[in-house]
Amino acid sequence: MTDDKQSTKTRLLDAAEKLFADNGFDEVSVRDLAAVADVNVAAVNYHFQGKENLFHEVIRRRFMGQKDTTLASLAEVMARAEERPELAAIIRAIVGSYLEGALVQDGGMRIMALITREMHSNYNTRHMVFFKEMIAPIFAAFSAAMLAARPSLRQEDVNWLIASVVGQIHHFIMRRVKCDSLDPADDTRSFMILAFPVLDAPMDEFVSAVTDHITRFSTAAVDGMHPEVTP
C-alpha cells in the first residue's frame, strides 16, 4: 500500500474513532467522516466498503491488541500455576490488563466510550456479531481459568461472576472518564472527588487501586458465595 493510501486510511480511522465515540454510529454520516478526515467522500467506500466496515476496523485497530494483551496476561497466570491457579491472580490479570488498555494506553478512553455507547444503544445484529468476535475469546479464557481455579463452580455461577467483575471494571472506567471530562472548578467534579478521592490520583495509582479493590472484593465474594468444600 502506498504512503498516500495509508495516510488516507489512517485519517479516516482517526476521524471515525472520534466521531463515532462522540456521536454514535447512527448519527455519523459518510459525508461527516470525509469532511473531518479531509478526504473525498468516495474514499470511505474505496478503502472500507462502507461505514459499517469502517466502524469495525476502528474497533479492531484498538481492541485486537487489547484482546491479545489480556489473553497473554491470563495465560501467564495459568502457566505459573503448579496445581490449580489462584483465583485472585486470575481476576487481577483480567482487571489490570483491561484497565491499562482503557485508561492508560493512548486512545483507550475514546475507544471505551465508543464501545460502551454501542453496547447500550440499539445496535444491529452485525455489530453484535463483531463484538462477539472480539469479546468471546476473552470470556472463554476467563471462564476456563475460573473453573480451573474452582472446579466446584457451575458454568452458570461463573457466568454471573464474570458479569460482576466486568460490571465493576466498566463502572470505575466510566467514573474516571466522567471526572476527567469535567472542568477542575466544576462542582460536580469536586463532589465526585470528595466522595471518592482516588479519582484525583494519577492514572497509574488509580488503576492500581481499582485493580486491587476489584480483585479483593470479587475473590471474597466467590469465597463467601461458593466456599470450597474440604474432602
Exposure on the CB side of residue 94, measured as CA atoms within 13 A: 31
Whether pLDDT at 3 is above 60: no
Based on the domain organization, do 32 and 77 belong to the same domain? no
Based on the domain organization, do 126 and 178 belong to the same domain? yes
Question: Is 55 within the bounds of a domain?
Answer: no
In total, how many domains does the chain have?
Answer: 2
d(CA 14, CA 146): 37
CATH number of the domain to which 129 belongs: 1.10.357
Contact by Cβ (8 Å): 116, 170: yes
Give the domain extent around 27. Answer: 1-49
d(CA 95, CA 50): 34
CATH number of the domain to which 32 belongs: 1.10.10.60
What is the pTM for the complete model shown?
0.81
Q: What proportions of the chain, in percent to the nearest 5, are helix, strand and coil?
A: 80, 0, 20
Tell me the pLDDT tens digit for each residue of 125-135: 556 666 777 78
Based on the domain organization, do 162 and 217 belong to the same domain? yes
Whether pLDDT at 155 is above 80: yes
Based on the domain organization, do 186 and 154 belong to the same domain? yes
Question: Is 54 within the bounds of a domain?
Answer: no
Based on the domain organization, do 165 and 92 belong to the same domain? yes
pLDDT of residue 64: 80
pLDDT band at residue 1 using 50, 70 and 90 as cut-offs? very low
Based on the domain organization, do 162 and 65 belong to the same domain? yes
> Which residue, chain included where needed, has cell 497466570?
77
Tell me the pLDDT tens digit for each residue of 13-52: 999 988 988 888 888 999 999 999 999 999 999 999 999 8
The neighbour count for residue 188, using CB atoms within 10 Å, is 11
pLDDT of residue 126: 57
Local structure of 227: helix, strand or coil: coil
